Structure 1
Amino acid sequence: MYNVAHIGVVVKDATKSSEFYTTVLGCQAVSGHQDDRVCLVFLKAGQQTIELIQYKQDAAGTRGAGVVDHIAFAVPDMEAALAHLQRHNVPLLFDQPKMVGNMKIMFFAGPDGERLEFVQQL
C-alpha cells in the first residue's frame, strides 16, 4: 500500500486560496514553487499535505477527468467549527450538519467553490 503524499487542488488564485486555508482552516504553508507555467503552494493540514495549483495559462481547463471531489477535515466540535466558518463568512452547503453513521458532517465552499467538509466522529 502507498501512503498519500498530498492532495492537489486546482485554484484560480493561489495567494487568495492559501490565505483562506491558513486563516480559516488553520493549515500551515510549508513550501511553494513558481515558474512561467504554474504556482504551487504546499500546506500542512495535520498529518496530510494539500497542494494548491494555480495554472498561469488555461491548462486547468484542458485537464479533463480527475477532479478532486472534496477535502475533509476532522473537527472535535462541529458547532464550534461552524461558528468559526460563519465568522469568516464561509458559505455552508447545508442548512444543518447531517448524520452519516456515527459521523456528523458539513460541507462548505472554499474561495474557488471547491467542496470542503468538516467531519466530527461521535
Structure 2
Amino acid sequence: MKLKSIHHIAIIAKDYAESKQFYTEVLGFEIIQEVYREARDSYKLDLALGGLYQIELFSFPDYRPRGSYPESLGLRHLAFAVDNVEEWIIYLRSKGVESVQDVRVDEFTGRKFTFFNDPNGQPLELYEN
C-alpha cells in the first residue's frame, strides 16, 4: 500500500465569514464549492490552491477551542510554499494580519520562513521555496 498525496486539510472556523474572507481574499484560495448542511447547522467550504491542495473550512455552532498553543497534540501548523517570504510578510501586515512574525532562516536548509495565525488561531507557515 502506498499513499498518493494529501487530499485535503480540514479547519473548523470560530467565525465562518471572517475565515472564508481570510482564506479567499487574503491568501487567494479559490472556492470549489460551498454548502450549508442543515442537519448539522454547519457550512462546508471547499477551497483550492493552484489545483494542488484543498482545504475544507467548516462552521460548527458547538466547536471547542484549540488546546495549549503552540505545542498542542495533533496538527502543529500548515505550511505554504512561496517565492518571497519578505513580500508576503509586508502583504499580510497590510491586510491587518497582526500575528505575522519577522523572517526566520531554517538553520539546516538556509531557506526563509515565517509564521502567522488564521482568524481561528490556526498556526500557518510560509516557507520560501
1:17 and 2:22 are equivalent in the alignment: no
CA shift for structure 1 position 97 = 1.3
CA distance in 1, matches of 2:20, 2:103: 26
CA shift for structure 1 position 99 = 1.2
Structure 1 ranges of 4+ moved more than 4 A = 64-67
| Cross-structure match for 2:117 | 109
CA shift for structure 1 position 9 = 0.8
CA shift for structure 1 position 109 = 1.1
Aligned CA distance change for structure 1 residues 10 and 81 (closer, same or farther; 3 Å): same
CA distance in 1, matches of 2:128, 2:99: 16
| Cross-structure match for 1:78 | 85
| Cross-structure match for 2:55 | 50
Unaligned runs of 5+ in 1: none
SS in structure 2 at match of 1:61: coil
| Cross-structure match for 2:96 | 89
Unaligned runs of 5+ in 2: none
Aligned CA distance change for structure 1 residues 79 and 44 (closer, same or farther; 3 Å): same
Aligned CA distance change for structure 1 residues 67 and 91 (closer, same or farther; 3 Å): farther
CA shift for structure 1 position 68 = 2.8
Q: How many corresponding residue pairs?
A: 118
CA RMSD in angstroms comes to 2.2
| Cross-structure match for 1:41 | 45
CA distance in 2, matches of 1:85, 1:13: 19
Sequence identity of aligned pairs in percent? 29
CA shift for structure 1 position 105 = 1.1
CA contact (8 A) 1:9 1:68 kept: no
CA contact (8 A) 1:18 1:29 kept: no
- TM-score by length of structure 1 reads 0.84
